[in-house]
Structure 1
Amino acid sequence: MQSTTSSFTMRALLVTGFLSITITSTFSVAKDTNTESETCSYNEVEMLELSPREFDQNLEKGWREVAKAEACREAAADLIHTYYTKNEISKGAMRTFVWHEGQLRAEVGQYQRAISLMKQARKPPEKDMSGWNYYVDATIAFLQSDREELKTQREKLAAVPKPEGFNPTDADGNPIELQWPLNLNIVDKFIRCFDQAYSEVYTECTAEK
């Protein structure tokens, strides 16, 4: 895997955050509250004081800053877990946080832990207008090496109608163009790259159907 998070990965993580708002730790905490693991370091107190949006969506703050280095993906996942454990956040934000923690766990090969987290990221069916749950279940099927279930969830996602008035924006309120159905391109990569690791699907896999 590349030494830093690919732009594709970061965009994918960022978009899921907008649309859903919806192992023992490997680092130690020093007396000055700076947390370190190999090349990873951050101030836990400052991290926990960030707003949920700052912590999750700002590329220069929060867990994304920690996750820029490949060796720090697990530390970033641990940081997300610490953040939502020690802060009071909304149900929608919780779905986002457990999803992003799950993605990071999957990137470092912790598939079972990732699956458990991702299951918690499902929305109530009546509130899922974008096929989010199909994307979640497709991702889980990929991690479980269940090709048939992955294809089933892909077809369900592909059939989701685009809602009227669908006008997505970025964190600053600027309009952004997204292909519909959302995340279908990622699910298609899961199918094309079925025999690859989760991390390779987002960075290195170039397999054809």
Structure 2
Amino acid sequence: MVVAIVIALAAVVQSPAVEAPCGDEVQILNEDLDTFDQDPRKGWRSVVARTNCRAKAAELLRIYREMLQMRLDSLAWHEGQVLAELGRVTEAIAIFQQAKRRDVVLDQPQEGWNAYADATIAFLRRDRIALQQARKRLAATPIATTMERQPDGSFRPSSSASRPPNLDVVDGLIKCFDRSYAEAYGSSSCRS
């Protein structure tokens, strides 16, 4: 979830946070849903009330909605993981399917996330070929530039990513293909 928020903020914030003519976008996007949507002095309503800021308010509404959808996707994903760990494979697969994303969210391509979902589903279906194909797609995805919040509140590009996210998880699913999801996902011996 934190990565999703950071990616979302990266789409909006390109330099240290400064009070813009339409408001502090980082602060606004970090507000809880009720404040962002309903408080007349905060959130998108504070932006739309400013001169020449209607377009910015629309942009912030879109970004917040997409961030919220990513959070919901993440919650669905975690629900699917718990179900898979319990051996409730059919239910887990259905939830994992729901957690897949549109092609682009917050101006970031989602093929890596969807390849990860496809790999997990293939593992649960015991389809080694589909799992390996999904792994190839995941490995081929460009590494997204994420922004990390600095102690002073600014954002700077992260240089720590060297592989697509979750590639190690998929490698573990392949390595421990004959084990349960709980073992293949959770065992350090599967990911080494």
TM range (shorter): 0.5 to 0.7
Residues 20, 95 of structure 1: 8 Å contact kept: no
More helix by share: 2
Alignment gaps of 5+ in structure 2: 9-31, 34-66
CA distance in 1, matches of 2:187, 2:164: 23
Please report the TM-score for the alignment, with normalisation by the length of structure 1.
0.52
C-alpha deviation, 1:111, in angstroms? 1.0
> Structure 1 residues 160 and 183 mapped into 2: Cα distance closer, same or farther (>3 Å)?
same
The answer to whether structure 1 residue 129 and structure 2 residue 112 are counterparts is no
C-alpha deviation, 1:207, in angstroms? 5.7
> Structure 1 residues 93 and 203 mapped into 2: Cα distance closer, same or farther (>3 Å)?
closer
Provide the residue aligned with 1:183 in structure 2: 166
The answer to whether structure 1 residue 201 and structure 2 residue 181 are counterparts is no
CA distance in 2, matches of 1:121, 1:136: 8
> Structure 1 residues 178 and 104 mapped into 2: Cα distance closer, same or farther (>3 Å)?
farther
> What is the percent sequence identity of the aligned residues?
36
> Structure 1 residues 19 and 141 mapped into 2: Cα distance closer, same or farther (>3 Å)?
farther
CA distance in 2, matches of 1:135, 1:115: 13
Q: Summarize the alignment of residues 13-162 of structure 1 with structure 2, pairs less than 5 Å apart.
A: 17-20=1-4, 90-127=68-105, 129=109, 131-162=112-143
Residues 193, 205 of structure 1: 8 Å contact kept: no
Provide the residue aligned with 2:146 in structure 1: 167
C-alpha deviation, 1:99, in angstroms? 0.5
Bigger CA radius of gyration: 2
CA RMSD of aligned residues (A): 3.0
Residues 192, 207 of structure 1: 8 Å contact kept: yes
CA distance in 2, matches of 1:110, 1:176: 38
> Structure 1 residues 112 and 129 mapped into 2: Cα distance closer, same or farther (>3 Å)?
same
- Partner-residue secondary structure (3-state), 2:164: coil
Deviations 1:120-161 (A, max 9, x none): 111101335251100011011001100000000000111112
Deviations 1:144-198 (A, max 9, x none): 10000000000011111224xx13548x979683442111111111110000001
